[in-house]
């Protein structure tokens, strides 16, 4: 059994989620239910998928969940940019949150690499598994 709570990237993702929940409760953001809900779900997804991936039985399964978390971090960066452009975030808050999210994304990339997810053999075997997955 892995210890996902000891992973710095999981801790950082939980911290980011906490900050996003707080900032989306601010008056400028709180009334936009669509964006508020979407950015909360995306940040929540990052830490959840890190935890799920770390508890998986194989590196291949772990890397799949870590890639989902990395995708969610890109989603958060996009939503932060939109929130900034429409005036929900001031420049300092936006830059700090974007930087924090980008560091999580980079950490996930390193975690994927550490688990063997960036090797050509891993990628080919994952592709073949997806095509010929047993029913």
What CATH number does residue 58 fall under? 1.20.1440.60
Separation CA 118–CA 135 (nearest Å): 27
Domain that holds residue 37: 4-131
Q: What is the structure's pLDDT at 1? A: 44
The series of mean pLDDT values per 10 residues for the chain, 135 residues long, is 86 98 94 96 97 91 96 98 97 98 97 82 54 56
CB of 60 closer than 8 Å to CB of 125? yes
Separation CA 112–CA 81 (nearest Å): 26
Task: Indicate the number of domains in the chain.
Answer: 1
Q: What is the structure's pLDDT at 117? A: 75
Separation CA 66–CA 50 (nearest Å): 6
């Amino acid at each position: 059994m892995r210890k996902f709570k000891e992973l710095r990237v999981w801790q950082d993702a939980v911290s980011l989620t906490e900050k996003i929940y707080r900032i989306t409760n601010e008056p400028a953001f709180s009334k936009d239910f669509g964006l508020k809900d979407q950015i909360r779900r995306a940040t929540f997804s990052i830490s959840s998928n890190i935890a799920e991936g770390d508890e998986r039985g194989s590196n291949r399964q772990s890397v799949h969940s870590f890639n989902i978390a990395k995708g969610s971090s890109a989603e958060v960066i996009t939503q932060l940019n939109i929130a900034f452009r429409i005036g929900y975030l001031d420049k300092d808050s936006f830059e700090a949150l974007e930087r924090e999210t980008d560091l999580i994304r980079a950490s996930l990339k390193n975690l994927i690499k550490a688990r063997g997810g960036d090797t050509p053999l891993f990628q080919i075997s994952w592709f073949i598994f997806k095509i010929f997955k047993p029913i």
